[in-house]
Amino acid sequence: MNAVNRQRAVLAALLIALGVSTPVLAHAVSPAATAADEVTALEAAIATLNKDKQQSAAAFQAYEALGAFYEARGDRKNANKTYTRTIAAFDKGKFQLNGGPEATAAARAELMLLTPHYDAFMATKIVPNPKLKPDKQMAFVVSQVKAMMDVVFGPEKETVAPDGVRRTLRANGMYDQYAARVGKYGSKWTYLAYLNRARMLLYLAATIYKAPAPPDMSKDESAAFDEFVASFGKQVEDRALKSLVEVLKDADAKGVSDPAVTQIRGVLHTYLPKEFPLPDAGASAATPVPAP
């Protein structure tokens, strides 16, 4: 069964479970239904359910189904519109950040809005430019690393402390956004959000380790470059692992069983096998996490 047919089966079950009985909805689950019929049905369900706040859980199920409908068809534009509507409905209804069905739907919406940026970052490569003169090569490599850091940590901003000391800070990058936009809802998606942001740091560290050395460096310059790359990459890697250790402690304390938590444990085992042995001898550090 392909993604579209799976999504239609889920839609049919959802509409029946929601109990919204109208001719439009009945037609949407019939064999003759078109994509437009399904959208009309979901929009009708959302409109009907939004009239009664007691039906909010079902309404947010319908929002999620509409987003999944567009995802299954590769319609990113309308999927993103649906995610934005989901978040707006959550804010308008003033629902609690308690991991309930409304918060879970909103958290997933935020996660999906961040996903294209995550995917783009994880495909980034640092490449040399052979057309540049040797004395320009280092600056070119550094500029690419800085661009990656801008995505993860946010652009550099200079601040002046009350004592007059100037400091350069980074904020509001995707590392912060995963916590601020997804983690705040207290839903099951928090663990995948924290896993993704740590993966970004680990990818940045690995990219730094593999940064191409500028040509024609002296032996001392080459040694200094290698030392800098190793030290800087290790700082980023350590930050990622520290964050995952804290998240895993939280999950274990709460007795959370989730694919993302399993993957977090697997990542920590890959980097710190003695400290984080896999509980199951048959478990894999590369267990995939289902897409949100």
| pLDDT tens-place string over residues 7-31 | 556 566 566 556 555 554 555 555 5
CA 192/CA 291 separation, integer angstroms: 9
Confirm if 101 and 123 have CB atoms less than 8 A apart: no
> Would the pLDDT of 222 be above 90?
no
User: What per-residue confidence (pLDDT) applies to 216?
Assistant: 76
User: What per-residue confidence (pLDDT) applies to 19?
Assistant: 58
Confirm if 42 and 65 have CB atoms less than 8 A apart: yes
Arithmetic mean of pLDDT over the chain? 85
Q: Regarding predicted confidence, which is higher, 70 or 48?
A: 70
Residue type present at position 12:
A
> Would the pLDDT of 57 be above 60?
yes
* Mean pLDDT of all residues in 84-108: 94
C-alpha separations of 35 from 6, 67, 235 in Å: 14, 13, 50
Host H or E run for residue 169 = strand 166-170
User: What per-residue confidence (pLDDT) applies to 94?
Assistant: 93
Residues in CB range of 270: below 8 A, 6 or more apart: 285
Instruction: Give me the phi and psi of 107, to 5 degrees please.
Output: -65, -45
User: What per-residue confidence (pLDDT) applies to 288?
Assistant: 47
